Structures are given as C-alpha cells and as structure tokens.
Structure 1
Amino acid sequence: MKVVALSHSALWNHSDLTFGMHRLRRRVFSERLDWDVSVSNGLEIDQYDALAPTYLLVVDQRSVVGCVRLLPTTGRNMLANTFPVLLDVRHAPNSPTIWESSRFCVDTQSLESPTTNGLRSATFLLFAAMIEWGLQHDLRAIATVTDLRMERILRRAGWHLDRLGSPQQIGSTKAVAGLLPVTEAALRAVQETGKINERAIITPSNVALAA
C-alpha cells in the first residue's frame, strides 16, 4: 500500500483513482454509516469537492482503499459552514496554518484483518500521511468534524483530538469537532503505534508506483 497526495486538478487526470475514491465514500458514508450524503451514479460527492481540495489516497493494487480530503480553513469548509453548532460559542478556525480534514474513510471490507490494537494498517498510513502533509506545508493543526467512534480510533492510534465543543447529535451520528496537532511528536506516536517504518506519502509523479 502507498499513500498518494493529489491536488483536485491532478486527481481528475487519474479517473480510476477519482471514481475509486468516490465509490469508497459512497460505500462507507451512505451504505455503512447511513449518513445523509448526496450520491449520484454510485458516487458520493458534495459541494466541498468543488473547492479545489487536496486528497490523500491509500492505494493498493490500483484500488483506493482509504481517503481523506483536506481544505484550508481560510475558505469555505464543513466545520465553519455546515457544522458550526459543534463549536458551542467558539469561532471556527480560520488560519493558513490550520486546514480541515473531512471524508476520512478506510475500506474495512477488502483490507486485511485489524492489527493487534484493533486498527488496520491503512488507517495508520492515512493518519501518518495527514501529519506528514501538514508538516510539509507548515501547518500546526488539522481541524476535523468526526464522530465519537473515530475520536476513540484516533486516541488508540496515538493522535489525540483537542475538542472545540461538546458532542452533538447530528442525524444518526454523535458528532464532535476538534483540532489534531501537526507535530513531529504526533507523527512519531502514530508511526510507533502502527509500526510504520517509512514516510507515508509518495509524490504525484510517482502515482504509477502505487500499482
């Protein structure tokens, strides 16, 4: 497995990865988690995909088995514009050193069994890639809206969420917003917990090596 970092424009030059990511999001968020998301022609796509995000994709044998979307908090993003209720009375993060992650998911059906601590290697790879990408772009934190289950997964992986508000019921999900630190210490913790010995991200020019 490899993790590929692709801009929105670069992603559309790789249609197999594009459709694989949106199909995976449909299977996870619409079918498995029963979230209220928009699905068209078998693909889960929302308004934030039109805002030129960066995507990190876990690729195994040319199949997308994990993904996450990254957007700057200085523009429109899910926390500020869709889920501000999760902030209690705080303002949404708005800083060039804080980006937002959303649509994090891993294909639990096609991957190997969980590791000894209950998490799959693709989950650790994607967490590590998020921190690496953040370090490369001088971020200090990643904001995210997630559920309490994922908050526990992050804690088990060694990456602790600093809550920005109290959990709220949103649809079928108990959701919470928070900040994840982007530091070398956080990266080491995830690498050690997940037994990752190498840097996770490969460059877009090496996307063919992900096969």
Structure 2
Amino acid sequence: MQVTTLSFQNIHTHGPLFADLLRARHRTFIEQAKWDLPAADGMEFDQYDTPASRWVAVHEYGRILAGVRLTPTTHRCGIYSYMIRDAQKGLLDTIPKELLYGEAPVAPHVWESSRVFVCDDVPAAMRLRVQMQLIAEMVRAARDLGASSVLGLIPATSPRLARRVGLDCEAAGPVLDIGGSASVCVNISMATKMH
C-alpha cells in the first residue's frame, strides 16, 4: 500500500494517479452517495480543486483505496474560498449555513479537509489500515504545509475513529443531515502530533 500527497507541482510525476483519484471520488460521491456534483469524463471535481489544494491518495497496484483534499483557508478563487466557509456564507445551497458554532476561520495555520472517502470495495479486514494511512498522511501533509489545525466536515461517527488513532478531534458545529448523512464539522488539532 502506498500513500501519496499530490499537488499541481508533482502530479506530472505520478502518471494517472490524480485522474484516478477524481474517478474514485466520482464513484463514491456521485454514483454511490448520489450527490449532485460537477463531473466530466467520469471524474468528480469542484471549484476547490485548484493549484492551492493538495490531495492525499491511498493506493495499491494502480487502484485508489481512499483520499482527502486539503485546502488553505486563506485561498480565494473568484467568489469562493473554502467549502465550509462558503457554506456558512450561503454560497452553497447543499450544505446548511449553520454548520459551525462560530465564524469560519481564515488563517495560514488552518487548512480544510474535504472530500474524505474510503472506497466501498476496500475489504473490511483492510479498512482500518487504509483509514490510518490516510489520516497519518493527511496529518503529515498538513504539518508540512504549516497547519496547526485542520477543519473538516465529516460523517458524525468519524470523531470516534479519529480519537482511536490518536487525533485530537473536537466538534466545531452541530450534527446536521447533509445529503442524507449525519455530518459534523470538526477541528483537528495538529499540536499533539507535532514533535
């Protein structure tokens, strides 16, 4: 099993990995979850897939197993910044505005994680290992980018897993029904992971 953090600076060195990641997102979010998202050529993408973002891919033998996108909270592209903040500002009609207890942060030390997934065909016996690889690389990549915390919108059951693998994860908003799933915004502190 391999874990790779992709950026616009290095995607050319990883062959079809980035396109494969977007195809896996298409299967996960459009085909299976039935979310109404932009797509082209069997790949899911949105306005947050810009050169400012990074993508973590867990893969094995050319197959994507899991992924996550990291976006700086300071980034802007037209009217958009990052998904959680834009939802709070009412720019996204599929995510409720009241997803955070406070105002969405804009700071160089805070990054957003989004489009977190583990492919449904990952065997149960392998799932925890894949999740741990994904989380470990997300933490490493975020720290390398200067993040002291990561803000994410995740399934409401995920904070238990995060604590189980040693992440300091705290609810940053109420549990909401988003796209038919119970979801919650969390703040993940990188401080306990910094040595």
Q: Same fold (TM over 0.5)?
A: yes
Q: Tell me if structure 2 keeps the 8 A contact 1:8–1:55.
A: no
Q: 2:115 aligns with which of 99, 103, 110?
A: 103
SS of 1:114's partner is helix
Q: Which amino acid aligns with 1:96?
A: P
C-alpha change, 1:160 and 1:10, in structure 2 (3 Å) is same
Q: Which amino acid aligns with 2:141?
A: W
Shift of 1:22: 0.8
2:34 alignment partner in structure 1: 34
**Is the helix fraction higher in 1 or 2?**
1
1:71 alignment partner in structure 2: 71
Q: Tell me if structure 1 keeps the 8 A contact 2:7–2:51.
A: no
RMSD across aligned positions (CA): 2.3
C-alpha change, 1:31 and 1:154, in structure 2 (3 Å) is farther
Does 1:133 find its partner at 2:141?
yes
Residues 48-87 of structure 1: per-residue CA shift (max 9 Å, x gap) = 1135311111121122222111110112101100254201
Give ranges in structure 2 of 5+ residues lacking alignment: 76-80, 89-96
- Give me the TM-score of the superposition, normalised by structure 2: 0.82
Residues 130-177 of structure 1: per-residue CA shift (max 9 Å, x gap) = 111222233211110112133343233332421112112223122211
Q: Tell me if structure 2 keeps the 8 A contact 1:34–1:172.
A: no
1:169 alignment partner in structure 2: 177
Give ranges in structure 1 of 5+ residues lacking alignment: 189-211
Residues 12-46 of structure 1: per-residue CA shift (max 9 Å, x gap) = 55451122101110111122223332233211111
Q: 2:163 aligns with which of 128, 145, 155?
A: 155
- Give me the TM-score of the superposition, normalised by structure 1: 0.76
1:144 alignment partner in structure 2: 152
Higher relative contact order (CA 8 A, sep 6+): 1
Q: 1:114 aligns with which of 116, 125, 131?
A: 125
SS of 2:17's partner is helix
Q: Tell me if structure 2 keeps the 8 A contact 1:86–1:175.
A: no
Identity %: 27
Q: Which amino acid aligns with 2:124?
A: S
Distance 2:137 2:187 in 1: 16
How many residues are aligned here?
Answer: 182
Does 1:47 find its partner at 2:39?
no
Q: Which amino acid aligns with 2:98?
A: V
Q: Tell me if structure 2 keeps the 8 A contact 1:141–1:179.
A: yes
